[in-house]
Chains A and B, each alone.
Chain A
Amino acid sequence: MSEIIKIKKGLTINLKGKAEKIFVKAKPAGLYAVKPTDFHGLIPKLCVKVDDRVKAGSPLFFDKYRPEIKFTSPVSGTVVQINRGERRKIMEVVIEPDETIVYEDFTAGDPSQLDAKDITGKILSSGLWPVIRQRPYNLIANPSDKPKAIFISAFDTAPLAPDYDFMLKDYGKEFQSGIDALHKLTAGKIHLNIDSTYPASSTFMGAKGVQINKFRGPHPAGNVGTQIHYIDPINKGEVVWVVSPQDVIAIGRLFQTGHYDASRIIALTGSEVKAPKYFKTLSGACVRSITDNNVREEGNIRYISGNVLTGTKVAANNFIGYYDSQLTVIPEGDKYEFMGWLAPGLNKFSLSRTFFSWLMPNKEYVINTNLKGGKRALMITGNFERVFPMNIYPMQLIKAIIIEDIELMENLGIYEVAEEDFALCEFVDTSKTDIQEIIRKGLDLMHKEMN
């Protein structure tokens, strides 16, 4: 498909601290972990105890309600901690790695020769199944579903997002195997969505068995939700799956080697990083393993696994999230600012032109985590519509969720959205409402109602 889909509404937030296009081999992390909290709604059942020995690919825990969905260790080593939070909720299963990684064997195989059942089984047992997520509800896909299509967004428009074209340029073969495997799981198409503003890498352009769709525009053009909406919107009762490009490669590797190879590239970004670069490491690596001696230690700082709009706050001694390809470090905003609302605000970023920073359109901003105002009722209208590109009324949907009107939520298009699609609305919101949380609540309500 050569036609370019132009996204007009949205907002590019130009932050300081983009990753330089250089790969760094991260030093081996002292600890790795899998965090059940990365998977929304999961109730984990442990299959290991502290001091158990595991291989890369050995199950650590599984989904209580769908026991076939396993979560496996990224390395071989010893389970050293099982950390629990409030009400004994399992926060993370921590593994201390061996010098050399020993893998569980899931037997290699050419996915184009295997049938759907074998492929599903292999992905499930290797612990890679959770990389496949479904819409509606934005949860781990159901292995028994036949999705109407699979969507892969090969570019990310979020602030400081990694450049997948650079990051994955050497993984064409693995990517193709991953695509071949996914192909068996859907009766429909695999949509590979690329950014038309620059030539995409051969990893993506050379992929066979996919429909390539070109997009252009500001964030959230790179959000897979936006792309689905423009290519083949989700109707009630339909299911589509989404996979991120790095995870397609991980699936490809599984079929090529028969191992769960948790290699992962993480872009270290943010204004507080001294030398932002791309790090080759393993899934679940300790944050410190890539940030040591590379972060400005002035004042409090926040580590975010993921990007600044949708990522998860992590402690420096915590671990990179399962789905993330990016780690962002920005200053905390736990300071008072004298008359901040009255100042000219040359260094303040805003969708509106109420601060004089509009005089400098190309400025790179350092934005801290301050809420920048008090929470208020949802009063201001028209801002969400400027950054929300779907043909959905964002304010009305948010209000339908707040009043828990299931039918209205359905009518207004809740099946088509995920939390991340509302991240920009949340960013621009004058009343400082936590909108992504509201959307998640709506999705959960809907999911409970329908199942």
Chain B
Amino acid sequence: MKGLRKLLDSAKPNFEKGAKFGKLHSLFDALETLAFVPNRVTKSGAHIRDAIDMKRTMIVVVLAMVPALLFGMWNVGHFHFQALGQLDQKTFWEIFWFGFLKVLPIILVSYVTGLTIEIIFAQIRNHDVPEGFFVTGFLIPLIMPVDVPLWMVAIATAFAVIIGVEVFGGAGMNILNPALTARAFLFFSYPSWMSGDKVWVSGLSEMDKVADGFTGETIMGMYAQAPAGVTPSIPYSPLEMFLGTIPGSIGETSTLAILIGAAILIWTGIGSWKIIVSVFGGGLLMGYILNLFAVNPYMQVDAWEHLLLGGFAFGAVFMATDPVSATQTERGKWIYGFLIGLLAILIRVLNPAYPEGVMLAILLMNVFAPLIDHYVVEANIKKRKKRLQASNS
């Protein structure tokens, strides 16, 4: 390590502002701080500081998403070979390897596009490169259908980073969750690639012949497409929904893998358990309300089953908990999460145009988060003013 340190020390002056490679300062700094925690010491205030920093925070979030990613890779292979009717002939590793090769390019495109833009902006703004994109770059592939063209991933990522984050002043200043911004961009720009019954299974749209009885439709799609009054027959059991062997975006299908991630986030203290719990609570409540007034099969779906479907769990655990776009007050977090849960199920079931409501519910509540905080803080201010009045009278 001493060798690397020496190399960095000797190269450093070349990357200072105004030096030969001054334009690459941000890139150099990003790589240097990745390799070594800087030797900066405290100058004012507390002399010692918590060992946590943004890099550690973000790497923990990424780790929490790894189970969902690994499962997603396997699931991609699983459905591909199932569609071809070759599932019996393939080993576990062949299935996984197929998915791995499908998903890896999406991850690489997302990271390369996003980080390039982040580094350019950091250089222009004279900032350090923020770590937020570690997570965003990982989230984007997980919420894409596996057959999404790579150029779409690239422009969606660019859109999310530039319009979603940088125009607001950079990481920490954005209003919307950047990964969802990317997905929403694709959803509205290229709807045929982001929904329907072909996109969830790798290669399905190009297959001449699929196995008998196979459908790549998501469960929510089945309900939404079913003719009025007919209860669609769902070929998946609740256990399969929980484990994740259902069609869907790459990382969103396995509730189990997502819950492992949730456990990591909550135990380490990185993700707000209040938001996670209240999103599930809100979703459950709306499910029950719809059951009460059910007039069609979709509204009759058991409330708890909704929590296993689509991106609900994924959104609750990895999207709603983004501290920048969520509410900032603790009381606000309860309200914010609860409303996301309510709205997600409401949109999902009642709006025929959007088979999935989680993305829209979270984006909508991102916009309302400052308002929720405002009222929470206002209550505190009122209390203080009341106390002042009481002491003056």
Contact = CB atoms under 8 A, between A and B. Distances in A.
Interface of A: 13, 159, 233, 235-236, 238, 302, 304, 308-311, 313, 328, 330, 332-342, 345, 348-355, 367-383, 385, 391-393, 395-396, 411-413, 419, 423, 426-432, 434-437
Contact of B268 (A352, A369, A376, A419): A352
Interface stretch (B214-222, B354-362, B381-389): B381-389
Given A370-B39, A379-B171, A330 B47 contact: yes
Contacts of B45: 419, 423, 426, 434-437
A235 B37 contact: no
Contacts of B52: 350-352, 354-355, 372-373, 428, 430
Given A304-B47, A308-B46, A432-B49, A334 B54 contact: no
B384 A411 contact: yes
Contacts of B44: 434, 436-437
A330 B48 contact: yes
Given A309-B47, A354-B268, A382-B330, 12 more contacts: A302-B47, A310-B46, A338-B36, A339-B36, A345-B51, A350-B52, A351-B50, A355-B56, A373-B55, A382-B272, A426-B49, A430-B50
Given A233-B387, A336-B36, A354-B269, A374 B54 contact: yes
A432 B53 contact: yes
Contacts of B39: 333-336, 370
B57 A354 contact: yes
A236 B47 CA distance: 32
B232 interface: no
A449 to B, nearest CB: 17
Interface in B54-83: 54-57, 59-60
Given A310-B46, A371-B41, A338 B269 contact: no
Contacts of A385: 330
15 contacts: A236-B388, A313-B47, A334-B41, A339-B35, A355-B56, A367-B48, A371-B41, A373-B49, A379-B54, A391-B380, A412-B377, A423-B45, A430-B54, A431-B172, A434-B44
Interface in B367-393: 373, 377, 380-381, 383-385, 387-388, 391-392
A426 B387 contact: no
B393 to A, nearest CB: 12
Contacts of A376: 54, 128, 130-131, 171-172
A191 to B, nearest CB: 17
B267 interface: yes
Interface string B21-54: 0000000000001011111111111111111111
Nearest to B390: A235
Interface of B: 1, 4-5, 33, 35-57, 59-60, 128, 130-132, 170-173, 267-270, 272, 323-324, 326, 328-330, 333, 373, 377, 380-381, 383-385, 387-388, 391-392
B173 A377 contact: yes
Contact of A393 (B51, B268, B324, B380): B380
A427 B50 contact: yes
The 9 closest A-B pairs by CB, nearest first: A373-B53, A377-B172, A340-B37, A348-B51, A341-B55, A436-B45, A336-B36, A352-B269, A379-B172
Q: Which of B35, B40, B45, B324 has the most CB of A within 10 A?
A: B45
Contacts of B270: 352, 354
A412 to B, nearest CB: 7
B37 A436 contact: no
Contacts of B392: 235
Given A348-B51, A377-B173, A393-B329, A427 B46 contact: yes
Given A339-B35, A369-B42, A427-B46, A413 B53 contact: no
B47 A372 contact: no
A413 B130 CA distance: 32
A413 B47 CA distance: 26
Given A236-B388, A373-B37, A381-B328, A396 B50 contact: no
A377 B170 contact: yes
A437 B387 CA distance: 28
Contacts of B380: 391-393, 412
Given A352-B269, A426-B45, A430-B54, A338 B1 contact: yes
A311 B48 CA distance: 11
A235 B391 contact: yes
Contacts of A432: 49, 53
Contact of A309 (B46, B55, B171): B46
B278 to A, nearest CB: 14
Contacts of B35: 338-339
A419 B44 CA distance: 12
Contacts of B53: 341, 372-374, 430, 432
Nearest to A15: B48
Nearest to A341: B55
B210 to A, nearest CB: 44
A195 B127 CA distance: 45
A122 B374 CA distance: 50
Contact of A370 (B4, B49, B387, B391): B49
B60 A379 contact: no
A351 B49 CA distance: 10
Contact of B38 (A352, A374, A427): A374
A45 B383 CA distance: 43
A425 to B, nearest CB: 9
Contacts of A436: 44-46
Nearest to A382: B272
A437 B384 CA distance: 25
B280 to A, nearest CB: 18
Given A411-B385, A427-B49, A341 B59 contact: yes
